[in-house]
Amino acid sequence: MAKTKKRSSERKQPAKRPADKPARDGSATKAPSSAGGMTSPESIRETIESVVIAFILAFLFRTFEAEAFVIPTGSMAPTLMGRHKDVECPECGYHYQLSASQEVDPETNKLTGNVTLGGTCPMCRYTIDVGPNNPQERSYKSHSGDRILVEKFPYQFRDPERFEVSVFKFPGGARTNYIKRICGLPHETIRIKHGDLFVKREGEADFTIARKEDPKKLLAVLQPVYDTDYVSPTLESAGLSQRWINGDSSPSDTPGKWNTDDDKRFRIDGQTPGDVWLRYQHVVPSQEDWFYLKEGTALPQPPPRQLISDFTAYNTRRTKSDQLTYPLSGRGVHWVGDLAVECRMDVAGESGEIVLELVEGGRRFQCVIDVATGIASLSIDGSSSLGTPKAETSLRGAGKYKVRFANVDDQLRLWIDGWEIGFDLPTTYEPLENFIPTEADLLPAGIASRAVPLEISHLRLLRDLYYIADDNSFGQPLADYEFNRDYAILDGGIRPLAAEVDALLSTPEYWSFFAGFQEKEYKLGEGEFLALGDNSGESRDSRLWANEGIGHCVPRRLLVGKALFVYWPHPTDHIPGTRIPFPYFPNFGRMWVIR
């Protein structure tokens, strides 16, 4: 949704990262040309950036026409960044970004004074102060959004593909550019239900789930839930850092069970018969818990296990206008069951089996790998819709392996050492209607050893995007159920929203509530597309336009091109991996192909 001056050039190579405007904002954000920044003054910095950008554009292959855009807001975050602050959590060391789009007026590009003062870490949930006189004694600059290249050539010969990131003219003001993911194609009806997208084409009677078949697109949108490389010493000393535990709740030093010294590496000797489980529990401290912890006071009660939600750290920014709470779009109020688990495995044996498990709606989705043969097999507990797909893998015998297992969009997928494994049968399955979580979902991921000695490290749990089925554009936060801004109601009681959300996610008696979540449908005609932002809680996209008298589709004539490459994310002020200062050092790590 950036309004930019055109920068005609030629295509070089593909790339990655765009975004646009919070759902509550009424009008499109106007972004300057890629030579100019979104922020005011800072003329020296902007001049240096412009020179570097000019050199990059000069080296583009002279093949296809390209255009440069600046991402002003966070509707595609964290896939693509709008104006933001980079943050390193002082408790666990995790790097993440906070939205700062509200610091700039979308019409005038002038600073509003409503600065981002803090935000919450997605790993340990510590809320950092990034305002003036912060405890870290650091200056947290706000950076303009990613600068991207858009290839205009493809859409002269073909339509956008599903889940392709595209730039188009806003239907409500054709001089304003938006960037979204194309999720609906001509002659389709799209249904948003429980975070997923379902498609019904003309002439078809039933909806089918829309799958992100390209593995690169899937991996690009997976969001981090927890990473064992980032353990808070404060939580560790308080006994609250154990997210991965023995399946039978035995202590982490029990002989024959999974053992750990630091909650980062987990070892088992393979001597215990049967399945010996290491399971994930989503136990996250609240803001109130952190208050007690920083005061050195015992918690009134330990935080309970919760369902995994659509918590989005980017949206947790606190501003001058909401210092005491963070926006609902960041808090995470929807249960997410589509998950992936990945880790490094150091296998020390030549036989036995390793089991990977993900739980969704009480169903157990498993991948069993025979260490002696390398054969992997997939199954769903209590369902025959999948069959038993099998495949040969390179995980055979002792060695070090990178393993990833995913249950996303009603499909099971496996990667070994970065390669996706092809099975002898389809790994997709029919809808199981498992839209209501069970107590099994409080331990949603697990790894078991069947007589295999091994060590696991770099263990990460990730979740899929959650598309919110809401078309409210009147200032209220977006959600799949009804509530007002400050309070929600369950079983007749009224409590502050934060407590209500925590209760909803941790109390099984309330989970029948999920069955009543609303769903929305959008019908598309000839040459019409449905465009949605990855940051569903703060994206002004096709869902909301109907209330503005625009209609929910993007006509083909308004398509500009395919987003290719993030060619200039904001530079760093030091050489990466060192403390050597280097103003405006190119941020090569975030120059990437957009998926």
pLDDT of residue 10: 34
Residue 272 · residue 257 · CB < 8 Å:
yes
Which of 450 and 152 is assigned the larger pLDDT? 450
CB atoms within 10 A of CB 44: 10
> Is residue 213 assigned to a domain?
no
> Is residue 378 assigned to a domain?
yes
Residue 452 · residue 354 · CB < 8 Å:
yes
CA distance 240 to 285: 8
Residue 264 · residue 229 · CB < 8 Å:
yes
CATH of the domain at 327: 2.60.120.200
In terms of phi and psi (left: phi > 0; alpha: psi -120 to 50; beta: otherwise), the region of 373 is alpha
Q: How confident is the model at residue 406 (pLDDT cuts 50, 70, 90)?
A: very high
Sheet containing 164-170: order of strands: 9-10, 65-70, 147-151, 559-568, 164-170, 173-184, 528-532, 554-555
CB atoms within 10 A of CB 186: 16
What's the number of domains the chain is made of?
1
Q: How confident is the model at residue 45 (pLDDT cuts 50, 70, 90)?
A: low
Dihedral (Cα; 526, 552, 192, 72), 10-degree rounding: 120
Percentage of residues in the chain with pLDDT exceeding 90?
Answer: 66
- Does the pLDDT at position 47 exceed 70? no
What is the average pLDDT across 221-245? 97
Domain boundaries, position 389: 223-301+308-463
> Is residue 229 assigned to a domain?
yes
- Does the pLDDT at position 489 exceed 90? no
User: Parallel, antiparallel, or unpaired for β 363-370 and 375-380?
Assistant: antiparallel
Which of 326 and 528 is assigned the larger pLDDT? 528
What is the average pLDDT across 157-184? 93
pLDDT of residue 83: 94
> Is residue 379 assigned to a domain?
yes
pLDDT of residue 44: 65
> Is residue 261 assigned to a domain?
yes
> Is residue 575 assigned to a domain?
no
Percentage of residues in the chain with pLDDT exceeding 70?
Answer: 84
> Residue 167 — φ and ψ, nearest 5°?
-110, 140
> Is residue 385 assigned to a domain?
yes
What is the average pLDDT across 29-45? 43
Which single residue is written with the structure tokens 């970065």? 418
461-482 per-residue burial string, b: 16 or more CB within 10 A, e: under 16 = bbbbbbbbbbbbbeeebbbbee
Which of 41 and 188 is assigned the larger pLDDT? 188
Beta bridge partners of 98: 85
pLDDT digits (tens, 9 = 90+) for 103-115: 998 778 899 999 9
pLDDT digits (tens, 9 = 90+) for 313-349: 999 998 877 654 555 656 788 999 999 999 999 999 9
Residue 214 · residue 595 · CB < 8 Å:
yes
CA distance 177 to 356: 44
Which of 569 and 273 is assigned the larger pLDDT? 273
> Is residue 187 assigned to a domain?
no
- As given in the structure block, the two tokens for residue 232 are 């808070």
pTM for the whole structure = 0.87
pLDDT digits (tens, 9 = 90+) for 57-105: 655 543 457 788 899 889 999 999 999 999 999 999 999 999 999 999 8
CB atoms within 10 A of CB 363: 19
Q: How confident is the model at residue 153 (pLDDT cuts 50, 70, 90)?
A: confident
Lowest mean pLDDT: which of 245-259, 331-345, 367-381, 401-415? Answer: 245-259
- As given in the structure block, the two tokens for residue 144 are 């303009």
Instruction: For residue 407, give the nearest of 459, 438, 365 by alpha carbon.
Output: 365
pLDDT digits (tens, 9 = 90+) for 435-470: 999 999 999 999 999 999 999 999 999 999 999 999
CA distance 339 to 63: 40
